[in-house]
Amino acid sequence: MTPYWRLFKNISRPVSAAEGLAVDDTLPQSVALNNSAPILHLYTFVPSVNVGKYQDIEAALRLDRCRARGIAFSRRSTGGGTVIMGPDVVALGLGINFDYPGLGRGVGGIFESLSLVLITALEKIGIQACFQPKNDLEVAGRKIAGLSAASGVGKSLLFHTSLLVEFDIDLMTDIMNTPLVKIRDKGYNCFSRRMTTVRRELGRDISVAEVTGAIERAFQDKFNIRLQEDEPDAWESKTIQAFIKERYENPEWIFSHKHPRARMGIGQIKSKAGLLEIYLSLSGGAIENVVITGDFFSTSENVRRLENALKWTSARKESIEQNLASVWQKDMIYGLDVPTLTAAVLAAKENQLRV
Amino acid sequence: MADIKGYDMPDELYYHKDHSWARVEGTRVTVGMNDFFQKESGDIVFVDLPEEEEDVEQGEVCGKIQSRKWIGKLVAPVSGEIVEINEELEEDTSLVNKDPYGEGWILVIEAEDLDSELGNLMQGEALVEFIDAELKRAEEERAGA
């Protein structure tokens, strides 16, 4: 008999930031403590933005602009950076035990196996995506989905994804507080060259329901299960309400000060390849975001691969060098080498200022 | 110093199945994350430390560790009171990667009941079997992918 998973599906109306995140936090709890089968939660948010568990929300966002535009802001329980959500961004939460058959082992294995499901889902609607180790899905070098996760009670974990069906880059540049978004690179906002959406890739107005349908079929294929649409039971409803109260309506959670210092730096060096300009956002000793730009010859795909190798890794010299070398191929940036690129990143780190 | 399938797992330490280690000196137990964890997780970018004077139970989550965009758990290998935390980690989380059994220690517990609890932790052959099982499961998952 084919095992079943539960499906909490809520795409007929966008949900509030508090409700969506509280339901997600309940998923691993229910798997661990309420004897539930794995639960897949597919939904969309009202226009909102959330930061990673250990981000400084006041450094990450322009809260005055969020308030002026009616954009709800919150802090999620999984790792990573700022995520802008809305009615055209598919939100996915999955509560599952980490030893569930078919799920890869360890942090990398879990991300990779769940990425493969999403790649299959995108294939079903005609998009060829790939897993950009370790945390993003890309189409031809442009990010289309971000992934994050956290371990839960016992063996359980919560996996989060945001998949861009449509995306408002102007909103992003207005409400995010990092100077990175102000970079203009040869007339294009740097984010429009680093991100894409389902509709842009397909060149048609695909519905959110069609995208979530493909995700459901991909999960069923990959794990050989059937999804059964369901609602939270009494135990889960009570837990959801508790999370809303304790976390998502609680300023102490949203404005938690348990996070590393946020800093920003710009580094410029002249190299044989041309001028290299690096924009770096640091979160404590880690690189939260990096943009590599300048007048060198390369492709967007290669530049993004290098940037991605550095995101959410240590900002130590040895780590930067090692992570760049792990993806480096000859002439990724024509005429440049790993030590020179490392030196440029370190120059940005040396120029860091408190955000 | 024991090398188990390429992972450095010192003989004198005790290991919890959730990858924390314990160095016992009288009733003081220094705690960190093992080499298997740090290699599998990659760069540690944030360590959410508990407060000193908190009481913890063996097996209880007493901290969180972020690597890339994953938040994992630090599980107390023994019960007792947290008497010291490694404040260096607030400035440099890479110590957990660079020196997991030295400068990358995370906290110290004043243990309550080592006599009954150390038997629940792994050493020697039990640890080899545990690492073997972890690696075997990974191979099976890869083969089935």
CA distance, residue A146 to nearest chain B CA (Å): 10
Residues 6+ apart with CB under 8 A from A16: A45, A46, A48, A72
Task: Point out which residues pair with B124 in neighbouring strands.
Answer: none
Residue A186 has pLDDT above 50, yes or no: no
CA A122 vs CA A44, A163, A311, B106: distances in Å: 18, 10, 24, 42
Residue ranges per structural domain of chain A: 4-254, 262-354
Contact between residue A259 and residue A283 where contact means Cβ atoms under 8 Å apart: yes
> Measured between CB atoms, which of A107, A109, A284 is closest to B141?
A109
CB within 8 Å: B138 and A53: no
* Whether the complex's predicted ipTM surpasses the cut of 0.90: no
Nearest residue on chain A to B94, judged by CA atoms?
A314
Residue A187 has pLDDT above 60, yes or no: no
Residue A75 has pLDDT above 90, yes or no: yes
Number of folded domains that form chain B: 1
Residues 6+ apart with CB under 8 A from B38: B44, B96, B97, B100, B104
CB within 8 Å: A135 and B134: no
CB within 8 Å: B45 and A53: no
Angle, nearest 10°, between helix axes A338-350 and A317-327? 140
Contact between residue A106 and residue A203 where contact means Cβ atoms under 8 Å apart: no
For Cα atoms B35, B39, B42, give the angle at the middle one, nearest 5 degrees: 135
Residue B139: band (very low, low, confident or very high) from pLDDT cuts 50, 70, 90: confident
Give percent above pLDDT 70 in chain A: 95
Residue B1 has pLDDT above 70, yes or no: no
> Measured between CB atoms, which of B42, B46, B71 is closest to A284?
B46
Select the more confidently predicted residue: A177 or A57: A57
- State how far the Cα of A293 lies from the Cα of A113, in Å rounded to an integer: 32
Residue B2: band (very low, low, confident or very high) from pLDDT cuts 50, 70, 90: confident
Contact between residue A57 and residue A73 where contact means Cβ atoms under 8 Å apart: yes
Domain encompassing residue B113: 3-133
CB within 8 Å: B94 and A319: yes
CA B92 vs CA A187, A265, A279: distances in Å: 38, 18, 21
Residues 6+ apart with CB under 8 A from B119: none
Task: Point out which residues pair with B113 in neighbouring strands.
Answer: none
Residue A324 has pLDDT above 50, yes or no: yes
CB within 8 Å: A148 and B70: yes
pTM for this entry: 0.91
Residue from A160, A166, A202 nearest A74 by CA: A160
Residue A354 has pLDDT above 80, yes or no: no
CA B119 vs CA B14, B78, B110, B116: distances in Å: 9, 11, 17, 6
- State how far the Cα of A171 lies from the Cα of A175, in Å rounded to an integer: 6
- State how far the Cα of A326 lies from the Cα of A97, in Å rounded to an integer: 30
Residues of B in contact with A259 (CB under 8 A): 46
The residue of B38, B40, B68 whose CB has the most chain A CBs within 10 angstroms, and thus the best one to mutate to test that interface, is: B68
For residue A198, the model assigns a pLDDT of 98
Q: Which one-letter DSSP state was computed for residue B78?
A: S
Q: What is the pLDDT of residues A125-182, one digit of tens each?
A: 999 999 877 678 999 888 999 999 999 999 999 999 999 999 998 898 899 986 555 5
For residue A132, the model assigns a pLDDT of 79
Residue from A71, A30, A26 nearest A51 by CA: A71
> Is residue B143, in this structure, part of any structural domain at all?
no
Region A13-40 average pLDDT: 97
> Measured between CB atoms, which of A80, A102, A313 is closest to B43?
A313
The residue of B62, B71, B90 whose CB has the most chain A CBs within 10 angstroms, and thus the best one to mutate to test that interface, is: B71
CATH of domain A262-354: 3.30.390.50
Residue A330 has pLDDT above 80, yes or no: yes
Contact between residue B130 and residue B18 where contact means Cβ atoms under 8 Å apart: no
Could you say which architecture CATH assigns to the domain A4-254? 2-Layer Sandwich (3.30)
For Cα atoms A19, A24, A25, give the angle at the middle one, nearest 5 degrees: 100
Residue A93 has pLDDT above 90, yes or no: yes
CA distance, residue B103 to nearest chain A CA (Å): 16
- What percent of chain B is helix, strand and coil (3-state, nearest 5)? 30, 35, 35
Nearest residue on chain B to A316, judged by CA atoms?
B94
Residue A46 has pLDDT above 90, yes or no: yes
The residue of A25, A29, A53, A317 whose CB has the most chain B CBs within 10 angstroms, and thus the best one to mutate to test that interface, is: A53
Q: What is the pLDDT of residues B39-82, one digit of tens each?
A: 988 889 999 999 999 999 999 999 999 988 899 999 999 999 99
Residue from B81, B131, B94 nearest A313 by CA: B94
The domain spanning residue B103 has which CATH number?
2.40.50.100
For residue A64, the model assigns a pLDDT of 96
Q: What is the pLDDT of residues B77-120, one digit of tens each?
A: 999 999 999 999 988 899 999 999 999 999 999 999 999 999 99
What are φ and ψ of residue A30, in 5° steps?
-70, -35
The DSSP line for A231-295 is ---HHHHHHHHHHIIIIIT-HHHHT---SPPEEEEEEEEEETTEEEEEEEEEETTEEEEEEEEES
> Measured between CB atoms, which of A104, A107, A285 is closest to B141?
A104
> Interface of chain B against chain A, CB under 8 Å?
40-46, 48, 64, 66-73, 90-94, 97, 134, 137-138, 141-142, 144-145
Q: What is the pLDDT of residues A260-275, one digit of tens each?
A: 888 888 899 998 888 9
List the structure tokens of A11: 């795409």
Q: Which one-letter DSSP state was computed for residue B101?
A: T
CB within 8 Å: B45 and A284: yes
Q: In the predicted model, what is the mean pLDDT of chain B?
A: 92
What are φ and ψ of residue A50, in 5° steps?
-135, 150
> Is residue B144, in this structure, part of any structural domain at all?
no
For residue A284, the model assigns a pLDDT of 86
Q: What is the pLDDT of residues A273-301, one digit of tens each?
A: 889 999 999 988 899 889 998 888 898 88
- State how far the Cα of B105 lies from the Cα of B83, in Å rounded to an integer: 13
List the structure tokens of A160: 């989060």
- State how far the Cα of B77 lies from the Cα of B80, in Å rounded to an integer: 10
Give percent above pLDDT 90 in chain A: 72
- State how far the Cα of A21 lies from the Cα of A26, in Å rounded to an integer: 9
Q: Are strands B107-111 and B28-33 parallel, antiparallel or unpaired?
A: antiparallel
Q: What is the pLDDT of residues A222-256, one digit of tens each?
A: 999 999 999 999 999 999 999 999 999 999 999 99
Nearest residue on chain B to A109, judged by CA atoms?
B138
For residue A188, the model assigns a pLDDT of 47
Q: In the predicted model, what is the mean pLDDT of chain A?
A: 92
- State how far the Cα of A173 lies from the Cα of A160, in Å rounded to an integer: 23
> Is residue B140, in this structure, part of any structural domain at all?
no
